[in-house]
Amino acid sequence: MERSGRVLSREQLLDGVWGQNVYVEDRTVDVHIRRLRKALNGEGEPDLIRTVRAVGYCFEKA
């Protein structure tokens, strides 16, 4: 992944996925991150998406 290890804010994720001209709640990102974690993380494996408190999210290399 080209942005592995880089922390992205909710706003950056919202703009990157939905664009700037669409109103989407910040919490929508949290819901989608939860769904991605469920789909990507195997039982007993480390979390690939790390939450950086008060900043955003970071995708970790496996």
pLDDT tens digits along 2-61: 666 889 999 899 888 888 888 888 788 999 999 999 998 888 888 899 999 999 999 887
CATH for 7-59, options being 3.30.565.10, 1.10.10.10, 1.10.3810.10, 3.40.640.10: 1.10.10.10
Q: How far apart are CA 6 and CA 9, in angstroms?
A: 10
The torsion defined by the Cα of 57, 48, 4 and 52, in degrees rounded to 10, comes to 20
What are the structural domain ranges in the chain? 7-59
Per-residue confidence (pLDDT) for residue 20, from 0 to 100: 83
Torsions phi, psi for 57 (to 5 deg): -130, 155
Predicted local distance difference test score (pLDDT) of residue 30: 92
Q: Residues with Cβ < 8 Å from 52, sequence gap 6 or more?
A: 7, 58
Is the pLDDT at 62 greater than 70? The verdict is no
- Extract the tokens encoding 52: 């950086």
Is the overall model pTM greater than 0.75, yes or no? yes
Q: Quick one: pLDDT at residue 1?
A: 55
